[in-house]
Amino acid sequence: MKNPIADLNKIFDSRIRLGVMSMLIVNHEISFNDLKQMLELTDGNLASHLNTLEQAQFIAVHKGFIGRKTSTTYSITDLGKQAFKAHLDALEKMINKL
């Protein structure tokens, strides 16, 4: 038998990063503020998790405006999509022995 957790991606151990990714898979683009409210996080906490995901190049940041107000939005990258799907596959494999 094989180590069932070896293929899980460490970046997605965090529920918050998992939540961000799952939201970005569904919604093409989401603002900082929406993520914050949806996941019920403080600014600093969200920012640091987004940073981790950006470092890994799993998400991309877009600085823009709504009217003249700044609005930062985030989207998933191809690499991020790949990694997330691989993680979900690993989870499934681990669990589908049920």
Partner DNA sequence: TATTTAACTTTGAAAAACAAAGCACTTTCA
Partner DNA sequence: TGAAAGTGCTTTGTTTTTCAAAGTTAAATA
Question: Does the protein bind DNA through residue 28 (CB under 7 A)?
Answer: no
Question: Does the protein bind a second copy through residue 14 (CB under 8 A)?
Answer: yes
Residues 66-95 interacting with a second copy (rule: CB under 8 A): 88, 91, 94-95
Q: Tokens 């899980």 belong to which residue?
A: 8
19 binds, among DNA, a second copy, none (CB under 5 to 8 A by kind): a second copy
Question: Does the protein bind a second copy through residue 33 (CB under 8 A)?
Answer: no
Q: Tokens 């949806």 belong to which residue?
A: 38
